[in-house]
Amino acid sequence: MNKKIYIDFHCHPSMKPFGKSFNNSDTKGKNSPNFKKNNSLFHKKKTNPISKLFNIVTTMTKFTQTDLQTLAKGDVHVICAALYPVEKGFLINKLKTGLISDALSNLAMGIGKKRIDHVQEHRDYFADLEMEYDFYKQLDNQVVDIRGKKVKYKIVSSYHELENMETTPGYTSIYIVLSMEGMHALNTGLDWEESNCDEQEVLRNLETIKNWEHPIFFVTLAHHFWNELCGQAPSLSGIVGWATDQEHGLDIGITPLGYKVIDKLLDNSTQKRMLIDLKHMNHKSRSAYYKHLSTQYASENIPLIVSHGALNGRRNFENPVHDHATGSQFLDGEINFYDDEIIKIVESDGIFCFQLDERRLIDDPKNIKKGLTRHKMKFNQSQLLWRQIQHFVEVLQARGYTNVWDHMAIGSDFDGVVNPLNGFWTGEEYASLSEYLVKHASSYLQSNNCPLKGKNRITPTEAIDKIFRANALRFMKKNFSQKVEGVMV
């Protein structure tokens, strides 16, 4: 296997092109093999000084970050692509429907007005999900010529296919593992607090997903708005947070239907278990899920996943003090994760993937050091991520763990509604980001104040390689497999 690869555990390559496919009735839901068309997974909307400045000022991202061209150029050869039926709460918001609401939503998400109209009007999240799944299938394993360079993507059904990744010179393959963000996709939460889904329909839809040709590796149970399954954490800020209403569900735990969905997701009787991603669940729901695993699945040690998250630096929800100075400037709140949850994730042999969203990594942008040069800017911005990594390993070291580097990865959330780290705008900058993190790790490991001991004192390059590649591959090898004719592959 070519070691010069990067892995992204959570991104949305289809959000913009799938949305733009609705611009014309002839292209609706169609994934174009022409990379020049904006309804193609291969279409790249480049960054430029104006779009970067617009992002810095508004925190909104209009350029593409994980299109197939960008991933190929950035050596991001494996991604977990999140299927996501856009929630109505984004588009039927405090401004209600109309031109102003549509313009704001399109500005935030870059999906196009016709897509917004469709989301506002439809009554079936599951049909929307199936359409996006089909969007990926249409060009699966088909070669696209991009100005003389051959690129293709392959939807992966098991880790076995990653062991045999193609590394042919001049021929780039992107391997896509499918995940899902938000179980409203089962057709729940259509009407906020008045929602009243059909339980049998929900469970039938989940059964359909579990029998898809391409398995879903993991799902987030919650997302931004109430979905009748569990409560969500506050997650939106800025102009988007101002215009939307997340209130209902913030103080609710897992519902009876939510437990039924959880148990069906985790059912492994036919080797089709779908793991549950903790991201976006509020703390009440996360605590209930931990308890459910400890009582109903005690003998299995089901791994905990955070596919795109950050730490809040606090000991736990009940006693939110800072035990480590590293966490003093982290964003507070339950959308981010507590120190005691780091321990739970590691104890379950799970994985925590850091998202590349500035708003999640620090409490106040004013606390980010300013830099007059591009190098200084990238150094300071990468330090936001480094401090999260440092906090993670120090929490584990303080409790005597000897594998402090083994449970972290990258889940950028690129092409979602994120504000990327300045200087690391897209998947094309992963190599640069990893190089800056190696510099931070080197300074840290050479410092007299570094508390790491024994097996935890590995080389900076090995530490960062684990985060960008090795840990994700190990996790998928253990947990992403299919049973074929009685043999696990």
Cα dihedral 187/85/348/154 (nearest 10): 130
Which has the minimum average pLDDT: 4-8, 183-187, 287-291, 427-431? 4-8
User: For 342-378, what is each residue's pLDDT tens digit?
Assistant: 999 999 999 999 999 999 999 988 888 888 899 999 9
Among 88-97, 283-292, 361-370, 387-396, the least confident range:
88-97
Q: Answer whether 275's CB lies under 8 Å from 262's CB.
A: no
Residue 485 has pLDDT above 70, yes or no: no
Query: What's the mean pLDDT in 312-325?
Result: 96
Of 215, 63, 81, 67, which Cα lies nearest the Cα of 151?
A: 67
Contact 140, 154 (CB under 8 A): yes
Mean pLDDT, the chain, whole residue set: 92
Phi/psi region, residue 400 (left: phi>0; alpha: psi -120 to 50; beta: rest), is left
Task: Give SS3 for 288.
Answer: helix
Query: Distance between CA 448 and CA 458 in Å, rounded?
Result: 15
- Taking CA atoms, 194 is separated from 186, 188, 241, 400, in Å, by 17, 11, 21, 49
Strand pairing of 275-277 and 487-488? unpaired
* Residue 49 burial (10 A CB sphere; 0-12, 13-18, 19+): exposed
Flag whether pLDDT at 319 surpasses 90.
Answer: yes
CB 107 within 8 A of CB 116: no
Domains and CATH numbers, the chain: 6-488 (3.20.20.140)
Q: Binning pLDDT at 50, 70 and 90, where does residue 238 land? A: confident
Query: Higher pLDDT residue, 37 or 101?
Result: 37
Indicate whether 487 pLDDT > 70.
no
State the pTM of this model. 0.94
Query: If you average pLDDT over residues 328-332, what whole number do you get?
Result: 94
Residue 296: Cβ-neighbour burial (10 angstroms; 0-12, 13-18, 19+): middle
Q: What is the CB-side half-sphere exposure of residue 194 using CA atoms within 13 A?
A: 1
Q: Which residue has the higher pLDDT, 105 or 50?
A: 50
Instruction: Locate 459 and state its tokens.
Output: 């080389």
d(CA 256, CA 335): 23
The strand ranges marked E within 26-170 are: 76-83, 144-146, 149-155
Give the mean model confidence (pLDDT) for residues 374-394: 97
Helix spans in 157-301 (H): 160-163, 199-210, 238-243, 256-266, 283-296
Under the banding of pLDDT at 50, 70 and 90, the label for residue 91 is confident
**Comparison of pLDDT for 483 and 20, the residue scoring more:** 20
Is residue 86 within 8 Å of 109, Cβ to Cβ? yes
- Dihedrals phi, psi of 391, to nearest 5 degrees: -60, -45
Confidence of residue 1 (pLDDT cuts 50, 70, 90): very low
User: Does the pLDDT value for residue 275 go beyond 50?
Assistant: yes
| Residue whose C-alpha is closest to residue 138's, from 27, 25, 7 | 27
Whole-angstrom distance, CA of residue 425 vs CA of residue 356: 9
pLDDT in tens, 172-230: 999 999 999 999 999 999 998 899 999 999 999 999 999 999 999 999 999 999 999 99
Number of helices (H), then strands (E), in the chain = 18, 12
pLDDT at res. 253: 98
User: In which band, very low, low, confident or very high, does the pLDDT at 482 lie, cut at 50, 70 and 90?
Assistant: low
**What is the DSSP pairing of strand 483-484 with strand 487-488?**
antiparallel
pLDDT at 57: 61
Q: How many CB atoms lie within 10 A of CB 326?
A: 20
| pLDDT grade for 2, boundaries at 50, 70 and 90 | very low
Looking at residue 245, its pLDDT comes to 87
Contact 9, 353 (CB under 8 A): yes
Phi, psi angles (nearest 5°) of residue 133: -60, -45
Rounded Cα distance, 324 and 320, in Å: 12
Q: What is the pLDDT of residue 240?
A: 73
Q: Can you say how many angstroms the Cα of residue 330 is from the centroid of all Cα atoms in its chain?
A: 19
> Where does the pLDDT of residue 110 fall: very low under 50, low under 70, confident under 90, or very high at 90 and above?
confident
> What percentage of residues in the chain have a pLDDT greater than 70?
91
Question: What is Dmax (Cα atoms) for the chain?
Answer: 64
Q: Which residues pair with 312 in a beta bridge?
A: none
Percent of the chain with pLDDT over 90: 81
What CA–CA distance (Å, rounded) separates 34 from 14? Answer: 15
